[in-house]
Chains A and B, each alone.
Chain A
Amino acid sequence: MVDDSSASPALAVRDLTKTFESRSGTVTALDRVSLTVPRGEIHGIVGRSGAGKSTLIRCLTGLERPTSGEVVVAGEDITVLRGDQLRAARRRFGVVYQHANLLDSRTAADNVALPLEIAGWEKARIDARVTELLDLVGLSDRARNHPGQLSGGQQQRVGIARALAADPEILLCDEPTSALDAATTGSILGLLRELRDRLGITVVIITHEPSVVREVCDAVTLLGDGAVIEQGRLGALISDPSNRLHRELIPLVEPAADGLTRLQVALGHPDATVGTIDGILALLRREGIESDVAAATVETIAGRRVGRLLVELADPSQVASAHKVLDGANLHPEVAA
Chain B
Amino acid sequence: MRTEAEWLDNPVITEGLPVALAETLAMTVGSAAITALLGVVVGVLLHNSSPGGIAPRPGLNRVLGGVVNLGRSLPFLILMIAIIPFTRFVAGTTVGWRAMIVPLTIGAVPFFARLVETSLREVSSGKVEAATMMGATRWDVTRKVLLPEALPGIVAGLTTTVIALIGYSAMAGAVGGGGLGATAMSYGYNRFQTDVMIAAVVLLVVVVQLVQVTGDRVARAVDHR
Contact = CB atoms under 8 A, between A and B. Distances in A.
Q: What is the interface of chain A mostly: helix, strand, loop, or mixed?
A: loop
Contacts of A61: 133
21 contacts: A90-B133, A91-B135, A101-B124, A101-B130, A103-B144, A103-B148, A103-B149, A104-B149, A104-B225, A105-B151, A105-B222, A105-B224, A106-B148, A115-B134, A117-B144, A118-B136, A118-B140, A119-B134, A146-B224, A147-B224, A166-B134
Contacts of A90: 132-135
B149 A119 contact: no
Contacts of B133: 61, 63, 90, 93, 95
Q: Which 7 A-B pairs have the closest CB atoms?
A: A105-B148, A87-B135, A146-B224, A115-B134, A101-B126, A101-B130, A91-B135
Given A101-B124, A101-B129, A118-B131, 12 more contacts: A63-B129, A87-B135, A97-B126, A103-B145, A103-B148, A104-B223, A114-B144, A115-B134, A115-B135, A119-B134, A119-B135, A166-B134
Contacts of A166: 134
Contacts, number: 60
Q: Name which of A99, A102, A118, A147 has the most chain B CB atoms within 10 A of its CB.
A: A118
B137 interface: yes
B127 interface: yes
Contacts of A147: 224
A90 B133 CA distance: 6
B134 A91 contact: yes
Contacts of A102: 127
Contacts of B144: 103, 114, 117-118
**A63, A91, A114, A146 — which one has the most chain B CB atoms within 10 A of its CB?**
A114
A322 B135 CA distance: 62
Interface in A15-52: none
A138 interface: no
Contacts of A114: 131, 134, 144
A198 B125 CA distance: 33
Nearest to B134: A115
Interface string B135-164: 111001000110011010000000000000
Contacts of B225: 104, 148
Contacts of A260: none
Interface residues of B, number: 22
Choose among A95, A102, A104, A166 the residue with the greatest number of B CB atoms under 10 Å from its CB: A104
A322 to B, nearest CB: 54
A99 B135 contact: no
Contacts of B223: 104
A87 to B, nearest CB: 4
Chain A interface size, as a band, is 20 to 34
Contact of B224 (A63, A101, A148): A148
Contacts of B148: 103, 105-106
A88 B135 contact: yes
Contacts of A63: 129, 132-133
Contacts of B135: 87-88, 90-91, 115, 118-119
Interface in A103-130: 103-106, 114-115, 117-119
A115 B225 CA distance: 21
A116 to B, nearest CB: 9
Contacts of B137: 87
Interface in B159-178: none
Contacts of B126: 97, 99, 101
Interface in A73-98: 87-88, 90-91, 93, 95, 97
A95 to B, nearest CB: 5
Contacts of B151: 105
Contacts of B131: 114, 118
A117 B140 CA distance: 9
A237 B224 CA distance: 46
A117 to B, nearest CB: 7
A272 B223 CA distance: 62
Contacts of A87: 135-137
